[in-house]
């Protein structure tokens, strides 16, 4: 039977150009999230015997770290992008990991073995579901009773300097609308009350949101940062519909913004992240 995919648009995006860009810049993505990921690991979410599911694992740094921490357990990373998964497998093999697997699957509908996992984690891979209750019910069914989730997601756009700067640069005089609440995208799980209702509605309890405010690092200098950020999905998405002149102008604005955020530690922007934790009842 072929693997079911409900998020067809996302599968096309992440399975195509977007996923290829993430694969090419896997090291840059990992480095940009370094401080945030360190905060996640500091919370000590993974026990040695855990069976961990990583939702939207991308090139798999989070899955591979989970596998190292769950040394008597295992880690399974699922993602929509074959190219990122291939990179994840290549890195896991180079690192000699034997308790990690990667699978192309839509976490919203994949038939996970029921009550198999102790913990579902995600590093910015759980905000793209077309049907959030269905997706989180599916993830809940993969967890054993008492199992947990630990998800990193972006807080509201206005509190994320890096997203605001990208939006302002790419607006090119347009009044860009904010996506509707809950819509698939960076801010889909930004509202604490909504997240609590969503998760308790599908069988989780003890829902907690912890705020991390850490710098995003985009490169050693503005040129390096532009080589990376100039091609990320949000930049491409926001520049759709601009003519050539307006697009070039928007990219110049982005370059200038990157230059103005150069520091001795590289190009850095503020970010605001939720760590969402909850337990399956
Ligand atoms: C922002 S990237 C994060 C990748 C990775 N977790 C990291 O931190 O480098 C989001 C990832 O979620 C994946 N994704 C989005 N929707 C998904 C779904 N329904 N099922 C599985 N993966 C999904 C995408 O393919 C993409 O790799």
Unique residue bearing structure tokens 């996506």: 179
**Cβ 62 under 6 angstroms from ligand 1:** yes
* Residue 196 within a domain: yes
For residue 206, what is the domain's CATH number? Answer: 3.40.50.150
* Residue 172 within a domain: no
Q: At what angle do helices 61-69 and 82-94 cross, to 10 degrees?
A: 40
Q: What is the pLDDT of residues 202-229, one digit of tens each?
A: 999 999 999 999 999 999 999 999 999 9
3-state SS class at 60? coil
* Residue 72 within a domain: yes
- Please report the pLDDT score of residue 130 as a whole number: 96
**Protein residue whose Cα sits closest to atom 5 of ligand 1:** 58
- Please report the pLDDT score of residue 263 as a whole number: 97
The residue among 22, 17, 11 whose CA lies nearest residue 87 is 22
**Cβ 32 under 6 angstroms from ligand 1:** no
* Residue 231 within a domain: no
Provide, rounded to the nearest whole percent, the portion of the chain with pLDDT above 70.
100
Give the confidence band of 12 by pLDDT, cuts at 50, 70, 90.
confident
Q: Return contacts of 17-24, CB within 8 angstroms, 24+ apart.
A: 17/236, 18/81, 18/233, 19/80, 19/81, 19/82, 19/83, 19/84, 20/83, 21/231, 21/232, 21/233, 22/58, 22/59, 22/81, 22/84, 23/59, 23/81, 23/83, 23/84, 23/86, 23/87
* Residue 102 within a domain: yes
Which of 12-26, 112-126, 128-142 bottoms out in mean pLDDT, i.e. has the lowest? 12-26
- Please report the pLDDT score of residue 219 as a whole number: 97
Please provide residue 66's backbone torsions phi and psi, each rounded to the nearest 5 degrees: -60, -40
More confident call, 14 vs 70: 70
The residue among 238, 5, 220, 4 whose CA lies nearest residue 128 is 5
Q: What is the pLDDT of residues 223-246, one digit of tens each?
A: 999 999 999 999 999 998 899 999
| Tokens (6 digits) for 251 | 């990219």
Q: Which atom of ligand 1 is nearest to the CA of 33?
A: 8
**Cβ 186 under 6 angstroms from ligand 1:** no
The residue among 125, 157, 165, 169 whose CA lies nearest residue 269 is 165
Ligand 1 centre from 224 Cα, in Å?
Answer: 24
* Residue 262 within a domain: no
- Please report the pLDDT score of residue 73 as a whole number: 98
- Please report the pLDDT score of residue 1 as a whole number: 64
* Residue 227 within a domain: no
Give the confidence band of 18 by pLDDT, cuts at 50, 70, 90.
confident
Q: CA 34 → CA 29, 85, 92, distances in Å? A: 9, 20, 19
| Tokens (6 digits) for 157 | 């756009």
- Please report the pLDDT score of residue 80 as a whole number: 95
Contacts of 49 by beta carbon, 8 Å cutoff, 6+ apart: 70, 72, 73, 118
Q: Which atom of ligand 1 is nearest to the CA of 54?
A: 6
**Rg, the chain, Cα only:** 18
| Number of compact structural domains in the chain | 1
3-state SS class at 34? helix
| Tokens (6 digits) for 236 | 């491409």
Q: State yes or no: pLDDT of 39 exceeds 90.
A: yes
**Cβ 7 under 6 angstroms from ligand 1:** yes
Please give, one letter per residue, the 3-state secondary structure of 65-125. Answer: HHHHHCCCCEEEEEECCHHHHHHHHHHHHHCCCCCEEEEECCCCCCCCCCCCEEEEEEECC
* Residue 255 within a domain: no
Ligand 1 centre from 58 Cα, in Å?
Answer: 5
Q: What is the pLDDT of residues 99-128, one digit of tens each?
A: 999 999 999 999 999 999 999 999 999 999
User: Looking at the whole model, is its pTM more than 0.85?
Assistant: yes
Rounded mean pLDDT, 166-189: 92
Structural domain range at position 115: 8-158+179-218+268-280
């Amino acid at each position: 039977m072929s693997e079911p995919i409900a998020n067809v648009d996302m599968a096309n995006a992440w399975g195509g150009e977007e996923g290829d860009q993430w694969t090419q810049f896997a090291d840059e993505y990992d480095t940009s999230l370094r401080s945030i990921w360190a905060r996640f690991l500091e919370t000590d979410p993974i026990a040695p015997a855990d069976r961990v599911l990583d939702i939207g694992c991308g090139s798999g740094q989070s899955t591979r770290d989970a596998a190292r921490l769950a040394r008597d357990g295992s880690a399974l990373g699922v993602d929509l992008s074959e190219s990122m998964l291939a990179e994840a497998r290549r890195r896991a093999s180079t690192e000699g990991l034997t308790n990690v697997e990667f699978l192309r699957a839509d976490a919203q509908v994949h038939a996970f073995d029921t009550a198999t996992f102790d913990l579902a984690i995600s590093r910015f891979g759980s905000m793209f579901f077309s049907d959030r209750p269905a997706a989180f019910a599916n993830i809940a069914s993969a967890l054993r009773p008492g199992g947990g989730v630990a998800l990193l997601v972006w807080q509201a756009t206005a509190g994320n300097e890096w997203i605001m700067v990208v939006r302002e640069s790419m607006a090119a005089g347009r009044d860009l609308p904010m996506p509707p609440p809950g819509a698939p995208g960076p801010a889909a799980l930004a509202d604490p009350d909504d997240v609590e209702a969503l998760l308790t509605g599908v069988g989780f309890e003890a829902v907690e949101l912890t705020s991390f405010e850490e710098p995003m690092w985009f490169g050693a200098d503005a040129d390096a940062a532009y080589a990376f950020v100039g091609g990320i999905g949000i930049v491409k998405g926001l520049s759709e519909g601009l003519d050539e002149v307006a697009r070039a102008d928007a990219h110049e604005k982005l370059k200038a913004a990157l230059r103005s955020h150069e520091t001795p530690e590289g190009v850095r922007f503020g970010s605001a992240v939720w760590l969402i934790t909850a337990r399956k009842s």
